[in-house]
Structures are given as C-alpha cells and as structure tokens.
Amino acid sequence: MLIPVEAYKEIEKIVGSENITADEQICDTYSQFLFHRPDPQVWWQRPAAIVMPGSTEEVAGFVKVCNKYKIKYKAHSTGYGAENGATAPDCVLVDLRRMNHIVQLDEKNMIAVVEPYVTGGEVEYMAWQHGLTACLTTAGPQSSPLASVTSHQGGNCAGCSMGYNGRNMLACEWVSPDGEIVKVGSAEMDEYFTADGPGPSFKAMIRGYFGFDGAMGIFTKAALKLYHWAGMTDYKIPNDGNLYEADVEIPDNIRFYTMIHNEWEDLEKAYYALAETEVCTYMNKFSIGITGQAYMPEFFEQALKLPHLREALKMARHKTVITIVGNSDRDLDYKVKCVEQIAKESNAILIGGKVDNPYRKAQVASLCKYDGYASLFNGPGSFHVAMGADEAIHVNVKQAQEAQRIKEGMIAAGQCEDDLGCGAWLGIYEQSSRGHNEAVMLIDPRKEYSLSAMMTYSIECSKVLATQHLGGIGFAAFGGRETVETFDPITSNYYEHTLKVKGLLDPDNLANMTFV
C-alpha cells in the first residue's frame, strides 16, 4: 500500500470498511481516461486507494487524516473525465457517490441546493415540475451539476439563456484543504441565495474561473441557479425506444430551427442580432464534420472521398441550431418573427419551426438535458478541444476562422482526420455580445497521427491566441507545460498567481492540480 497503514485504518474508521479500498483493480477503474486530454495516454495515475465518504463530516474527517499524514487526495462527483484523476501514486481518490441528495428546491427563489452525486437529469426533472430549469453541462444528464458549477469550466447550449456553468453557483458548503467545514456566503445561516461576502468574495478565490477540478478542497453542497421554464414538465414518450426513436411530444410553444450560413461574416451578424433580441433558450453552432462523423460515420467517410460532395457539405459547415420557448403566445410570435428576420438579414438558410418531425423532436429533447452527448465522445469519432477564449462574438469568430485555417492546412497535409476543417463550437452567452468558442478537432484514437495531431493543433491554435491577442488563454491552458510557458509571462503571470492561491489555502499541496 502506498499510504501508511495507520492512515488507511483511520480513514476506514471514519467511512466504514465497505467504503474504502486499495484494491489495485478497483483503483484501476478510476484511472482510465482516454478522453478530454491532449496527450494520447489511456492510463492516468492509479490512485493508492478509493474512499467514499457519506457525509460532509466524513469528508472533513478524511481530509484531516490526509493532513495529518500528508497524503495527497483528489475528489470527484460523477467522475466524467480525466480532470479529476489522481495525479500522484500516493493519491487517494475521493468518490462522492454516496452524497446524492437534492437538499432543497426553492421554487420561489429559483434555487436548488444539491450534493455532489445529484445528477443533472434528476435536477432537471425536479425543476421542470416547478416550471423551472437548470443550467446543465453538455457532459450530459448523468453528470454532476455540482461538479460543473464548483469545479470545472464549460459551455453549454443553454449558455445564451443561462450563462456559464461557473456563474451558476450561489452559496456552497465546502471542506477546506485543512479539513474544516466551511459555509460560503449565506450558507453560514443555511440559506443559499448568495455566495459573496461578507466582505471580499472568498467564493471567487476557491471557485475561480475554470475551476480547480477537485484540487481545491472538496465541495459538499452547492446552490444552483434555476431559470424560468415554459416548456414541458415531463417527456411524454408513447413508445419504448430510445430518445432518437422516441415520439416525444414537444409542446407548441417550443420551436426548433437550423440556421445555416455560408459566410462567417453573416454568421457573426446573426449572432449579434440573436443576442440583442434575447430570443434563444438554446443555441449553438455545431461542426457538421464532427457531429456527422460521430452519428453517421458510414455516410461521411464515403462522402468525403468525393470532392464535389465534400464541397457541398462544406457549404453547410456553419450550422447553428436554435431552440426558442415562448412564455406566452405573443412572446412566441415575437421570437419566431425575430428568428425569421435575422435569418433573412444574414443570408441564412433557415429550416424548422414547429417541432413536428422526428429529427426536430430528437434534437429538442436531446438539447433539454444534453441526452445523447455521450454519443459524441465515442472513441473513433471523438474530439479534442484545442482552444477558444470567451470574448466578443466577433473575436470568437476570428478565433474560429484561424483555427479553421490551421486545421485545413493539417487536413491537406494528411496530419489529422478530415472533419471539413471548421470545428467551431460557438455560441452566445448571457443574451449578450459575449461569445464562447471551442476549436474542436475530430480524432480517431486508433491512429497515431490523429493522436499526435491533438497536441500540434493545441499548440498552433494557442500561438494564434498569443500573437494575435484574440481574447485570452481559454482552453489553451490545457495544452501542457509549453502553453503555460508561452502564456504566463504575457498573461498577468496567471500561473504564478494560481500557485500562490493554492499555496495559501493548501500549503502542502495535498490536492494536486491536474493540468499543470
């Protein structure tokens, strides 16, 4: 065992023998992550042990033992992705699966307080019963909204109407790196309506922007912001099949559109107008090359071999899906009119409207809870996010154009999979001119060149951000040491400051950060 036997016994006493293991094979199931990382390794560090506390008190007791013996630890909720993997051989991984309660759902004030293992699907279902909805992450309904709002950076198709995940947390309960139970903001009085103060915002210190992915104490409760929802209170699915086959009944006040632009300039114009009119509940630009390869690989592989068909597909590369929800008949009419007008003004092809065919039904149902996104992370046909920094819509468009230029070069040189070049996953946020862009690349982990293309693409894209001043570091931060060295001196020494924050709150660095 890589941790002291006495420590193991003390932890065992806190959580119970059935909730701790150092079995190598069980630990191995917490260390395989091929996805969401630019380096082509399957095996992450195998944790020394897995511990499963069942309450905040047990979490605190565990962290205190870690401090006593200087044992490294890392926590995760539903555990999707390498971000929360162990980072040292003597690291104990905390699986928060046993903490799975919705503590409170406050309809009047639009707040849900949840424990780490509450899933997005569960929160969304409960919220819908009250005419509310939650800002879920595109990781899907089986993943933890607490993890998303407390510890990770991510966009989502609801960002236009619900904002970034990290801006969706109110007060929280947190076990500090020294094992104290800390009630942040109004949580001190068991109310969760605000996170900041009294005085400076400690919440901002421990949450930060991207989130520390389990390396900054352990969040045990978080208040999620809920939003008004005039859509269905439940899915009505007359048949038994999966969501793609299901004849989901979508109410008439929900409309779904696909808006296709041929030129970036037109897309940009449309996005500014969509932001101004605040009509979208969900919206995002998808890469037809990547989603197509994921869902229809047989068709795409053949189509890409035929130059004329490939060109035809490229014409639809800039595909934005839009879902609108009318809060009243007049609100719906207005939103429909706006979408149609914006499409007209921006030379778009607009398809859709009433959600009355299987494609639109599946799309809307899938967007509501991000069902089906798991399909996009499926090995060959999976993808890598290279860069993207949130800034003005037209800066995000510039980022996307640059990323497309780089990738087209790589495709022409046979250095990466052909996904038609444009991989921008682009959207507007908070009904404003702030955009979010992810430069996405199709990968096939079975192919050596495709794997090494991930890092090349990350580095090349980050150079563009650095030299052309296109809005910040964004996802380039996950490009490894090289990008840290590139960006730290020219970006307010963010890395040095981050280490200082860590050093003040977790002086022994027991919870290791993953990507640095």
Partner 1 sequence: MALMDYKVDQGWCNRCSNCKFIPSYRIKHSETMYVCPSITEYNFHAYSGSGKLMVGYSINDGHSELSESTRDVVYRCTLCGACDYTCKVFRKDIDVAENIEELRKECVNHGLVYPEHQAIIDSISENGNQLCKDPAAKIDWAKGLKIKKVADGDQGEIYLYAGDTNNFTSGLAKRTKNVASLLLKKGIDLITSGVEEPTAADKAFDLGFVEAGADAARKLAEEIKKSGAKTVVTMDAHAFTAFRYYYPRYGVDLGVEVLHITQLLERMYLDGMFTVAAAEEPVKVTYHDPCNLGRRSEPFTCEYEGDKRRRPMELTRTGDLGVYQAPRTLIEAIGNVELVEMDRIKGWAWCCGNGAGVAEIAPKLLKDTAANRVTEAQLTGADQMVTACPLCEQALNQAGGMKTVDVLDLVLQYFA
Partner 2 sequence: MSNIDAYLKALCEDTGLEIETDAKALKKTIAKNYSRSEAVVPAAVIYPVTVEQVEAALKAANEYEVPVTVRSSAGNASLTGTSLPWKEGSVVINLSKMNKIMHIDELNCMAIVEAGVTFEQLNKELKKHGLYMEHPLQAKAEKSVIAALLDRDPVLTAKHLWDVPDPLCAMKMVFGNGRLFGSGSAAGPGTLEEMLEAGCAMNQSQGPVWLDLGRVMTGAQGTLAICCWASVKVKKIGTCKKMAYVQSDDINVLGAYASQVIRRRLGEEAVLLNRKGMSRIFGLDEKNTDEMPKWTYITSVRGYNYFPEEYMENQYADMEDLAAAAGLTVSAELTGLDNEKAFAVLAGTSKKNDFWKLREGNDIVDLFCLNTLDVVDKFSVLAEKVVEKCGLDPKELIVYVQPSQMARNCHIEFLIEAGDKAAETEKLLGTVLLDNNAFFSRPYGVMEEAIYNKYKAQRHFMPAIKAFFDEKGILNPGKLASGYAGGAL
Residue ranges that bind partner 1, judged by CB under 8 A: 18-19, 21, 23-26, 28-30, 32-35, 42-43, 46, 50, 52, 78-81, 95, 97-98, 100-102, 119-122, 124-126, 139-143, 234-235, 237, 240-243, 246, 248, 297-298, 365, 369, 371-372, 374-375, 377-382, 445
Site for partner 2 in 483-502 (CB under 8 A): 487, 490-495, 497-498, 500-501
Residues 332, 326: Cα–Cα separation, whole Å: 4
# chain residues binding partner 2, by CB under 8 A: 95
Q: Residue 334 binds what, of partner 1, partner 2, none (CB under 5 to 8 Å, by partner type)?
A: partner 2
CA of 319: how far to CAs of 35, 266, 436, in Å? Answer: 25, 12, 15
Q: Going by C-beta distance under 8 Å and a sequence separation of 6 or more, which residues neighbour residue 158?
A: 133, 135, 136, 281, 282, 367
Q: Residue 392 binds what, of partner 2, partner 1, none (CB under 5 to 8 Å, by partner type)?
A: partner 2
Site for partner 2 in 227-246 (CB under 8 A): 227-228
Residues 326, 35: Cα–Cα separation, whole Å: 37
Q: Residue 227 binds what, of partner 1, partner 2, none (CB under 5 to 8 Å, by partner type)?
A: partner 2
Query: Does residue 198 interact with partner 2 by CB under 8 A?
Result: yes
Query: Does residue 430 interact with partner 2 by CB under 8 A?
Result: yes
Q: Residue 297 binds what, of partner 2, partner 1, none (CB under 5 to 8 Å, by partner type)?
A: partner 1
Residue number, 37 or 203, with CB nearest to partner 2 = 203
Q: Considering the complex, what minimum distance in angstroms separates the CB of residue 359 from partner 2?
A: 28
Query: Does residue 505 interact with partner 2 by CB under 8 A?
Result: yes
Query: Does residue 272 interact with partner 2 by CB under 8 A?
Result: yes
Residue number, 70 or 500, with CB nearest to partner 2 = 500
Among 31, 32, 176, 452, indicate the residue that binds partner 2 (CB under 8 A): 176
Residues 257, 64: Cα–Cα separation, whole Å: 53
CA of 307: how far to CAs of 16, 303, 310, in Å? Answer: 63, 8, 5
Q: Residue 331 binds what, of partner 1, partner 2, none (CB under 5 to 8 Å, by partner type)?
A: partner 2
Could you tell me if 426 and 285 are in contact, meaning their C-beta atoms sit under 8 angstroms apart? yes
Residues 418, 437: Cα–Cα separation, whole Å: 20
Give the residue from 275, 423, 436, 283 showing the smallest Cα distance to 364.
283
Residue number, 235 or 494, with CB nearest to partner 1 = 235
Beta bridge partners of 439: 387, 424
Q: Going by C-beta distance under 8 Å and a sequence separation of 6 or more, which residues neighbour residue 358?
A: 245, 247
Q: Helix (H, G, I), strand (E, B), or coil: what is residue 255?
A: strand
Q: Indicate the pairing of strand 91-95 with strand 72-76.
A: parallel
Q: Residue 142 binds what, of partner 2, partner 1, none (CB under 5 to 8 Å, by partner type)?
A: partner 1
